[in-house]
Amino acid sequence: MRVFKMRKEDLREYLESLKKVGELWAPVRKGDKFVYDKIDDVDKVELKALRTILPPKKFFIPQRNTVLKYRLNNEYADPVEEVPFRILFGLHPCDINGLLILDRIYLERFPDPLYKKRRENTAIIGLSCVPDEKCLGKSTNTHYVEEGFDIALTDLDDKYLVWVSSSLGDDLVRYRIDLFDENITEDDMKQYVSWRNWRDSQYKLYYDLTGMPDIMVLSWDSPLWEELADDCLSCGMCSMVCPTCPCYNVKDITELSSDEGERIRYWDSCMYREFALVAGGHNFREARAERIKLWYTHKLKSFGHEFGKPACVGCGRCIDTCPADINVARVIKALKGEEVKV
């Protein structure tokens, strides 16, 4: 890990330079929300944006993509997919932690070639942030990040500290080395420590998640799930906006007049009634309460048991999005025995 610093007034010039390296994507304003968009005008980049509507997973797990093309005589071929080199700028620590979770799901045991190709063709430039009333990153220990990025910028008033954690990140710095200063002083270090302490004190939502997987087990038959089911619309928005929801469905599409077809993969949600519906009409989770319990079991129990950390990264998107006010903060409070006001 190397550390540089950059004057704030040089960031615009640097981002403009990166457009010559690859497609530059960053948060921009869309109404009163923010989205990741391809940048033509760097003045549109929102440096103070918090959560975007959709997380960065949309770049690595497309909402719909072709897995293979086939003919009915058992011939098939992998699709030819052109994946441009992209630079994603402005990812916050929670979203980078979300990508690290997806990496474990899609790359470790049975590597997904489509995900892998997109990950390898993408540079990640992180950016520090200050939490609002919906952020839980300190609870999930995702308010900082030490890997999963190529470059990360920490905003220190008049400058950025620039952390470089990969050879690609080093190349991107050297591309405009004239804008970076490697002379890190003791004052810079003290300023960074002071900023970290101040930033951590800004979290308005904090929950001790010690023993949460065990609490989930003990609450398996809790009436909480039925209470949540009474409010839930089964709209699946929680899955769509969550940085770590990996569920998808697979469908074969063939025209009756053709012997060719394609197999597509598209986002799905375990909150949909038909998600666990199988041939013969049996549904393993027809009850809405069971689907809600499954979703939160993945976020707060199963992933933590297997990998030692929850699958929630505290980004606050479920708090911001759910029309029925069902979210990870509400569930954690209820599981810990606190009164919840909807």
Q: What is the pLDDT of residue 80?
A: 72
| Banded pLDDT at 75 (limits 50, 70, 90) | confident
Give the pLDDT of residue 102.
95
- pLDDT at position 342 is 53
Tens of pLDDT along 79-106? 777 889 999 999 999 999 999 999 999 9
Please name the amino acid found at residue 248. Y
Q: With contact defined as beta carbons under 8 Å apart, do 42 and 17 qualify?
A: no
Give the pLDDT confidence score for residue 78 in this predicted structure.
79
Report phi then psi at 328, rounded to 5: -65, -35
Four-residue CA torsion sign, 299, 274, 284, 225: positive
Which amino acid does the sequence have at 146?
E
pLDDT at 340: 65
d(Cα 336, Cα 152) in Å, to the nearest integer? 35
Q: What is the pLDDT of residues 281-335, one digit of tens each?
A: 899 999 999 999 999 999 999 887 777 788 999 999 999 999 999 999 999 999 9
Model confidence pLDDT, tens digit, residues 142-191: 999 999 999 999 999 889 999 999 999 999 999 999 999 999 999 999 99
More confident residue, 342 or 91: 91
Rounded to whole angstroms, the Cα distance separating 58 from 242 reads 11
Determine how many CB atoms are found less than 10 A away from the CB of residue 52. Answer: 25
Coil, helix or strand at residue 328: helix
Q: What is the mean pLDDT of the chain?
A: 93
Most distant pair of Cα atoms in the chain: their distance: 72
Q: Is the pLDDT of residue 109 over 90?
A: no
280-295 tens-digit pLDDT: 989 999 999 999 999 9
pLDDT in tens, 13-24: 999 999 999 999
